[in-house]
Amino acid sequence: MAAVTTTPRQKAGWGVANFVVIALALIPVLWLVSLSFKTPAAVLDPSFVPSQWTWANYSGILQSSQFIRPLINSIGIGLISTFIAVVLASMAAYAVARLAFPGKSVLIGMALLIAIFPQISLITPLFSIERSLGLFNTWPGLIIPYVAFGLPLGIYILSAFFREIPWELEKAAKMDGATPFQAFTKVIAPLAAPGMVTTAILVFLACWNDFLFAISFTSTTTARTAPAALQYFSGGSVFTVPTGPIAAAAVVITIPIIIFVLFFQRRIVAGLTSGAVKG
Amino acid sequence: MADIVLDNVTKRYPDGALAVDKISLDIADGEFVILVGPSGCGKSTTLNMIAGLEDITEGELRIGGKVVNNAAPKDRDIAMVFQSYALYPHMTVRQNMGFALKLAKTPQKVIDEKVNEAARILDLTQHLDRRPANLSGGQRQRVAMGRAIVRDPAAFLMDEPLSNLDAKLRVQMRTEVSRIQRRLGTTTVYVTHDQTEAMTLGDRVAVMRNGILQQVGSPQELYDRPDNLFVAGFIGSPSMNFMPSVVEDNTLHTPLGDVPLTGRLQRALEQARAPRELIVGIRPENFEDAALVPADQRSSGITFRASIDVLESMGSDVFVYFTKEFGNEVDAAELRELAEDSGSADVGVRNDAMVARLDTETRAAEGHESELWADLRTLHVFNPADGSNITLDYGADRAVGGAAPATSPAAGTGRGAGGTGASTDAPAGPGTGVI
Ligand SMILES: Nc1ncnc2c1ncn2[C@@H]1O[C@H](COP(=O)(O)OP(=O)(O)OP(=O)(O)O)[C@@H](O)[C@H]1O
Ligand SMILES: [Mg+2]
């Protein structure tokens, strides 16, 4: 990179371009943050910085079981779905990458099929199924579809990672006295960790952001997740639009994502397999 | 420390490929055995079966007297060095070397001691806390060795451990491997493609072809007394020259000249029910510039003229390449396979191209005709049908008469069996030296 010399003009050009892109992406977010600090009366005030700062929106939603309970649901359902999806996807991807077994191409085909299936078309049948199985408006009622739709992506990402890991490492681990389980946990899994983290982040984001299933398969705050709960917010009176609380809630549900990505960014980028074999 | 016994071990892969066919091999405790053979002959498969990484289809494998056919690799107490080194990239050199001991729940203090000791032997001490990605090829190779020796296992298995190194480093590591093995005295099975490694490293060499063990013996034994055409062609570099020959009227007609058959060779051919058409093999060093051969030795060989195509001076020797018109092609499955393995089939090397190693004193020159002499005492005769070495039991004092513009009178008669005077049944040539 350093070898490529850039003229000051080029540098300036790139700087402007980057600034424009970042500004376009960030202005709506900042606008949302700004809205969340405005009083109900100032919501229609076009100034970017609130003239009068207030925490009322935040304290309001954080005291309301209308929001706290869905937030807990979101976190719980998201984490459980992610965990299950990553574990299952790891095993499936390992098999896809390493073993020749009958029905392998069928498995891959099915996974692809699920990934490209429009979810909206499944709502009605899934709704009926969940009703008759008693899963409607429960955590498993959301976890199961989330895992199902998270798996194909996970299998794709992880099988690519497993394929990269030289098979001889596993043989070496076996020769060193590792059981197959130890070989997987101590050698293969650490090397596939960036893939698992990537998968986990993507699955978690999908669960966290999902609105379609959340609104369709829940009826009360028992299982309703935060994005779905937003639409049930009410204003101070029937005549006020709850713009402030919605903005505050949107900011709150964005924060975990930011933390998540900042925390794992390094691991996603790290290419751990380099140096395993002759370079 | 343990001996390893392969008893009719066979490997058939699930897709039906027969990779190893009834191999029987006794490897003594502390012995260094080399497995060689062309690509795809089943060397790695054999090694992996000993390691426990591949199932054994049939036969029995015993390590230290115990049958281990169904034992997991970890229960065999064997360490393996892989061609790609297979170092764990997420661990430091120290952790790589200590991994096996850690899995075996060895106390940390003992692990540290052993790792430090191995690092000292391998000159890796200052690299212990680095990761494999940051090491050079030679250092990685030594870490791979270190990982094996730290465990003090019953046996080492090495699958082409040096083939990823450049030529100079390979020579250096070769002596290193030899030194370490001598020092530790651990039973070692070493797979290689490399002639020099095969000839210099091992106590014994096992040559494989198409999953079948061809011959096992000390490097010298394989070199001097190859059981068959394949071993003869595979061992030695440059390899043995092969020529089609025909037996007629008690004479062996070779492209180099006619060789009268004396009693013993004749009997050998008879005993082997040899066909009329044979393949004769002669090693490059059994040629000499005729001018440099003392007169009293000439009779034990055959003198011929050849036009030198290429001359390579190596300092200590001179290699000359020449072609001889062959009446018919040398054709045997073994030779075709050898040509494929060495790649000479692809580059279109003619199989009537011959190579001779001459003394540096030679006055042979490129593009000129020279008079060369071939020592017939070391001539090998093979049956083209099955590749067997017909002359095998006729050792160094093979009874072959040297017919040539020979000057000396009959040098003697066949010693030993029969004692038939060579000159009596050699119609050609006035002088027939029987050596
Ligand atoms: N997993 C497998 N399934 C089917 N056949 C295999 C498998 N592994 C190896 N073979 C076949 O078995 C034969 C022996 O293979 P092997 O790897 O032992 O050869 P090798 O002597 O080590 O060759 P190289 O010198 O190229 O490493 C080959 O013909 C190969 O095609
Ligand atoms: Mg191999």
ipTM of model: 0.75
Asked if residue B409 has pLDDT above 70, the reply is no
B136 at interface of A, judged by CB pairs closer than 8 A: no
Task: State the Cα–Cα distance between residues B376 and B391, nearest whole angstrom.
Answer: 12
* Contacts (Cβ under 8 Å, ≥6 apart) of B249: B427
- The candidate with the shortest Cα–Cα distance to B104, out of B117, B114, B91, is B114
Ligand nearest to the CA of B36: 1
* Residue at A15 is within a domain: no
Query: Quick one: average pLDDT of B346-370?
Result: 80
Task: State the Cα–Cα distance between residues B306 and B320, nearest whole angstrom.
Answer: 10
Task: State the Cα–Cα distance between residues B51 and B45, nearest whole angstrom.
Answer: 10
* Residue at A228 is within a domain: yes
- Chain A partners of B137 at a C-beta cutoff of 8 Å? 278-279
User: In which order are the strands placed within the sheet that holds B353-358?
Assistant: B287-289, B369-375, B301-313, B318-323, B353-358
Residue B428 contacts residue B400 (beta carbons within 8 Å): no
Q: How many domains does chain A have?
A: 1
* Residue at A41 is within a domain: no
Print the domain residue range for A119. Answer: 65-232
Please name the residue ranges forming H helices in A37-138.
Answer: 56-63, 65-98, 104-116, 123-133
Residue B397 contacts residue B374 (beta carbons within 8 Å): no
Task: State the Cα–Cα distance between residues B312 and B314, nearest whole angstrom.
Answer: 6
The CATH number of the domain holding residue A126 is 1.10.3720.10
Task: State the Cα–Cα distance between residues B24 and B52, nearest whole angstrom.
Answer: 17
Asked if residue B29 has pLDDT above 90, the reply is yes
* Residue at A53 is within a domain: no
* Residue at A255 is within a domain: no
Residue closest via CA to ligand 1's atom 28 equals: B40
Task: State the Cα–Cα distance between residues B365 and B204, nearest whole angstrom.
Answer: 39
Return the number of other C-beta atoms located less than 10 Å from residue A238's C-beta.
Answer: 6
**Using a 6 Å cutoff on CB, does residue B45 contact ligand 1?**
yes
Per-residue pLDDT tens over the stretch B184-217: 999 999 999 888 899 999 999 999 999 999 999 9
Task: State the Cα–Cα distance between residues A172 and B79, nearest whole angstrom.
Answer: 9
Q: What is the pLDDT of residue B401?
A: 39
Per-residue pLDDT tens over the stretch B220-247: 999 999 999 999 999 988 889 998 888 8
Q: How far is A276 from chain B, CA to nearest CA, in Å?
A: 5
pTM score: 0.77
Q: Residues 21-60, chain B: which have Cβ within 8 Å of A?
A: 51-53
- Chain B partners of A272 at a C-beta cutoff of 8 Å? 89-90
Residue B72 contacts residue B52 (beta carbons within 8 Å): yes
Q: How far is the centre of ligand 2, averaged over its atoms, from the C-alpha of B111 (Å)?
A: 32
Exposure string of B309-318, with b = 16+ CB inside 10 Å and e = fewer, is eebeeeeeeb
Q: How far is B190 from chain A, CA to nearest CA, in Å?
A: 16
Per-residue pLDDT tens over the stretch B241-289: 998 888 888 888 888 888 888 766 777 788 878 888 889 999 999 999 9
Query: Quick one: average pLDDT of B298-325?
Result: 89
- Chain B partners of A277 at a C-beta cutoff of 8 Å? 84-86
Task: State the Cα–Cα distance between residues B390 and A44, nearest whole angstrom.
Answer: 106
Measured over the CA atoms of residue B324, residue B305, residue B230 and residue B200, the dihedral's sign is: negative
Q: How far is B209 from chain A, CA to nearest CA, in Å?
A: 25
Ligand nearest to the CA of B55: 1
Measured over the CA atoms of residue B16, residue B20, residue B23 and residue B28, the dihedral's sign is: negative
B73 at interface of A, judged by CB pairs closer than 8 A: yes
Per-residue pLDDT tens over the stretch A91-149: 899 888 888 888 888 888 888 888 888 889 889 999 999 999 999 999 999 999 999 99
**Using a 6 Å cutoff on CB, does residue B19 contact ligand 1?**
yes
Could you say which DSSP state residue B70 is in? T
* Residue at A273 is within a domain: no
Task: State the Cα–Cα distance between residues A233 and A241, nearest whole angstrom.
Answer: 9
B88 at interface of A, judged by CB pairs closer than 8 A: yes
Element (H, E) at B67: strand B66-67
Q: Do A272 and B89 touch (CB under 8 A)?
A: yes
- Chain B partners of A196 at a C-beta cutoff of 8 Å? none
Residue A170 contacts residue B51 (beta carbons within 8 Å): no
Per-residue pLDDT tens over the stretch B147-183: 999 999 999 999 999 988 888 888 888 998 999 999 9
B223 at interface of A, judged by CB pairs closer than 8 A: no
* Residue at A145 is within a domain: yes
The structure tokens listed for A274 are 């380099």
For chain A, list residues whose CB is within 8 angstroms of any CB belonging to chain B.
166, 168-169, 171-179, 182, 186-187, 190-191, 272-279
B417 pLDDT tier (thresholds 50, 70, 90): very low
The structure tokens listed for B389 are 């070495």
**Using a 6 Å cutoff on CB, does residue B193 contact ligand 1?**
yes
- Chain A partners of B84 at a C-beta cutoff of 8 Å? 166, 168, 276-278
Residue B428 contacts residue B251 (beta carbons within 8 Å): yes
The structure tokens listed for B129 are 């806390």
* Residue at A224 is within a domain: yes
Return the number of other C-beta atoms located less than 10 Å from residue A71's C-beta.
Answer: 18
Please name the residue ranges forming H helices in A165-223.
Answer: 167-175, 180-182, 189-209, 212-216
Q: Which of B82, B100, B134 sits opposite A168 (nearest CB)?
A: B82
* Contacts (Cβ under 8 Å, ≥6 apart) of B161: B81, B82, B83, B141, B144, B145, B173, B177, B190
Most B CBs within 10 Å, among A169, A175, A267, to test the B interface: A175
Q: Which of A182, A275, A276 sits opposite B103 (nearest CB)?
A: A182
- The candidate with the shortest Cα–Cα distance to B25, out of B55, B54, B59, B52, is B59
**Which residues are within 5 Å of ligand 2 (an ion), measured at CB?**
B 44
**Using a 6 Å cutoff on CB, does residue B44 contact ligand 1?**
yes
